[in-house]
Amino acid sequence: MSLTDMQRCIQECQRCREVCLQAVVHCLRRGGRHAEAGHITTLLDCVEMCATSANFMLRESMRHRRVCEICAEICDACAKSCATFRDDDEMRRCEAECHRCAELCREMAGTSARA
Amino acid sequence: MSLTDMQRCIQECQRCREVCLQAVVHCLRRGGRHAEAGHITTLLDCVEMCATSANFMLRESMRHRRVCEICAEICDACAKSCATFRDDDEMRRCEAECHRCAELCREMAGTSARA
Amino acid sequence: MSLTDMQRCIQECQRCREVCLQAVVHCLRRGGRHAEAGHITTLLDCVEMCATSANFMLRESMRHRRVCEICAEICDACAKSCATFRDDDEMRRCEAECHRCAELCREMAGTSARA
Amino acid sequence: MSLTDMQRCIQECQRCREVCLQAVVHCLRRGGRHAEAGHITTLLDCVEMCATSANFMLRESMRHRRVCEICAEICDACAKSCATFRDDDEMRRCEAECHRCAELCREMAGTSARA
């Protein structure tokens, strides 16, 4: 896997982290079902795992593949949680970002065939 | 300032971070005013700043004093936000923890006279 | 798994994170083989993964098991890296802490049989 | 201050964080004076403070100004540490990035006149 693939994945993790953290604030402001513990926790999980994943790649850690594998799972869960808010553009944007991040993380993990 | 003072401050930052992160989950579950954006954001600020502050001390960074100074301010703000929930034991516990952490951080910062 | 098991694991992750971050400073000061990129990076991996793992448990995230599973692997790798410095008490202490953390994380992950 | 100014500062903090973390790996590989505890610790301080600062802005926290103020100081210190390695392009790049980040953080903090 070329350096360029890793750099694309790092950038995507950063972007996904950013979109998910902004989504936390958006959802808390909307209130109601948007602010339920399960959804906000899932967004915070994604914020943190994307940061961890990006940092493992930035450190060129030998163990970044396993971390990217879990990051993809966390992103999938976050996309699924966002997908339950069909009429909210912010949630659709967050869902799309999480899908993209999950895909690139799976490529980094070398598990795209399994996906 | 002895090593023991710094270690007490590190431990307190870790504990405050932990109590505030558990408070986030508690407040989201309670819902209503507990789950308002301003309060949850203030708790998340405190979680992050306590971690940052502890890490600067663990790295024995020359610049830990300034970081502890800000951490004390963030803890004060969090204590104040928790204090608005008078009938909630979790919030009172979080408020007390934030006060303790603010006090120890101010001692580390060498700004206790100003406080 | 009882709340007490999770709280023990959270405490252990915090302690391991702390010991590993102090080990980074120790190793950089010792210099030579202690300060090699591979070893320091492995310590920083462990610092970050233990924090992530503790946070997933503190948020009572549904996905904490998978994160603990990876955390155990990162701790194993860190223990192994520390074990190459036989005559250094700090490294032996860090190795022991990483072993303990790996064990508790594997229990949380429900993968102790495989370990 | 417009949203655009804050978004520029968030992007710059992310970029600075990334460049500084890659610089840690670079310096550890170079070894010698590059891998001294003071320099590596300063880089790690900058990595962490830039992340904290970006997160406060992403959460639209009321207290982001004070955090940006300290972040600017940490970036200044990191730029200064990098500036001692005159013949190393990576260090010059990191120095330039830290200067840019310090400047934008000071603007956010509303302290640019004092700088």
Cα(D39)–Cα(A42) distance, rounded to whole angstroms?
37
Separation between Cα atoms, residue A24 and residue B41, nearest integer Å:
9
Nearest by CB: C25 against D25, D35, D41: D41
- Asked if C36 reaches chain D (Cβ–Cβ under 8 Å), the answer is yes
Q: Which chains reach chain B with 3 or more Cβ–Cβ distances below 8 angstroms?
A: A, C, D
- Chains C and D: how many Cβ contacts under 8 Å? 26
Residues 6+ apart with CB under 8 A from D3: none
Q: Does C59 touch chain A (CB under 8 A)?
A: yes
Query: Which segments of A1-115 does DSSP mark as H helices, in order?
Result: 3-30, 37-58, 64-82, 89-109
Q: What is the pLDDT of residue B4?
A: 86
D42 half-sphere exposure, CB direction, 13 A CA radius: 24
Does A33 contact chain B (CB < 8 Å)? no
* Chain D residues touching C17 at Cβ < 8 A: none
Tell me which of B56, B58, B68, B105 to substitute to probe the interface with D (most D C-beta atoms closer than 10 Å).
B56
Helix, coil or strand: residue A82: helix
Find, in chain A, the residue whose alpha carbon is nearest to that of C42: A61
DSSP labels for C44-101?
HHHHHHHHHHHHHHHTT-TTHHHHHHHHHHHHHHHHHHHTT-TT-HHHHHHHHHHHHH
| Tokens read off for C41 | 């990076």
CA distances from A86 to A102, B40, C77 (A): 20, 24, 43
Q: Which of B24, B31, B37 sits opposite A29 (nearest CB)?
A: B37
Of all residues in chain C, the one with the smallest CA distance to B20 is: C58
The secondary element (H helix, E strand) that includes residue A5 is helix A3-30
Cβ neighbours of D59 in A, within 8 Å: 21, 24-25
Average pLDDT in chain D: 94
- The alpha-carbon gap from D93 to the nearest alpha carbon of chain C, in Å, equals 20
Q: Say if residues D45 and B61 touch (Cβ distance below 8 Å).
A: yes
Residues 68-87 of B with CB under 8 A from D: 70, 73-74, 77
pLDDT < 70 positions in chain B = 1-3, 111-115
pLDDT digits (tens, 9 = 90+) for C35-72: 999 999 999 999 999 999 999 999 999 999 999 999 99
Residue A42 scores a pLDDT above 70: yes
D52·B52 Cβ contact <8 A: yes
> Which residues of chain D neighbour C55 with C-beta distances below 8 Å?
none
Output the pLDDT for position A78: 98
Rounded to whole angstroms, how far apart are CA atoms A39 and A23? Answer: 10
State the pLDDT confidence band at C4, using cuts at 50, 70 and 90.
confident
CA separation (Å) from D85 to B32, D25, D31? 55, 15, 13
CA C82, chain centre distance (Å): 11
Cα–Cα distances (Å) from C34 to C10, C24, C25, in that order, read 28, 9, 10
Single-letter residue type at D100: R
* Residue C3 clears pLDDT 80, i.e. is over it: no
Structure tokens at C48: 């970050």
Question: What does the block give as tokens for B56?
Answer: 């600067």
For residue A3, give how far its alpha carbon lies from the nearest alpha carbon of chain B (Å): 30
Per-residue model confidence as pLDDT tens digits over D5-22: 999 999 999 999 999 999
pLDDT at A1 over 60: no
Provide ipTM, 2 decimals. Answer: 0.93
In angstroms, the CA D104 to CA D115 distance is: 11
CA–CA distance, D75 with C49 (Å, rounded to integer): 25
Contacts of B61 in chain D (CB under 8 A): 41-42, 45
B48 part of contact set with chain C, CB < 8 Å: no
Q: Is the CB of residue D14 less than 8 Å from the CB of residue A18? A: yes
Residue D112 pLDDT class (50, 70, 90 cuts): low
Q: Residue D2 has what pLDDT?
A: 57
**Nearest to residue A14, comparing CAs of D11, D107, B1, B113?**
D11
What does DSSP assign to residue D84? Answer: T
Question: In sequence order, which residues have a C-beta less than 8 Å from that of residue C55 and are 6 or more positions away?
Answer: A48, B21
Q: Which residue has the tokens 């006279």?
A: B113
- Return the structure tokens found at B14: 């870790």
User: CA of B44, closest CA in chain A: separation in Å?
Assistant: 10
Query: Helix %, strand %, coil % for chain D, to 5?
Result: 80, 0, 20
Per residue in D78-108, pLDDT tens?
A: 999 999 998 999 999 999 999 999 999 999 9
Percent of chain C with pLDDT over 70: 93
Whole-number pLDDT of residue A3 = 62
Task: Please name the residue that has the structure tokens 């034991």.
Answer: B89
> Which other chains touch chain D, taking contact as 3+ CB pairs less than 8 Å apart?
A, B, C
- Report chain C residues whose CB lies below 8 A from the CB of A70: 66-67, 70
The pLDDT assigned to A115 comes to: 34
| Mean pLDDT of the D43-71 span | 97
What's chain D's length in residues? 115
Q: Which of B84, B56, B83 is nearest to B69 (CA)?
A: B56
Q: Does B98 touch chain C (CB under 8 A)?
A: no
What percentage of chain D carries pLDDT values higher than 70?
A: 93
3-class DSSP state of A110: coil
Q: In sequence order, which residues have a C-beta less than 8 Å from that of residue B91 and are 6 or more positions away?
A: B23, B27, B82, B83, B85
Give the DSSP letter of residue C115: -
CB contact, 8 Å: A40 with chain B? yes
- Report CA dihedral (A29, B79, A52, B28) to the nearest 10 degrees: -40
pLDDT for the residue numbered A4? 86
Judge whether residue C114 has pLDDT over 90. no
- Amino acid making up residue A40: I
- For residues A18 and A90, what is the distance between their CA atoms, to the nearest angstrom? 13
With an 8 Å Cβ cutoff, are C63 and A73 in contact? yes
pTM summary value: 0.94
Nearest-Cα residue of chain A relative to residue D56: A21
The tens digit of pLDDT for each residue in A43-100 reads 999 999 999 999 999 999 999 999 999 999 999 999 999 999 989 999 999 999 999 9
Nearest CA to C46 out of C11, C70, C10 is that of: C70
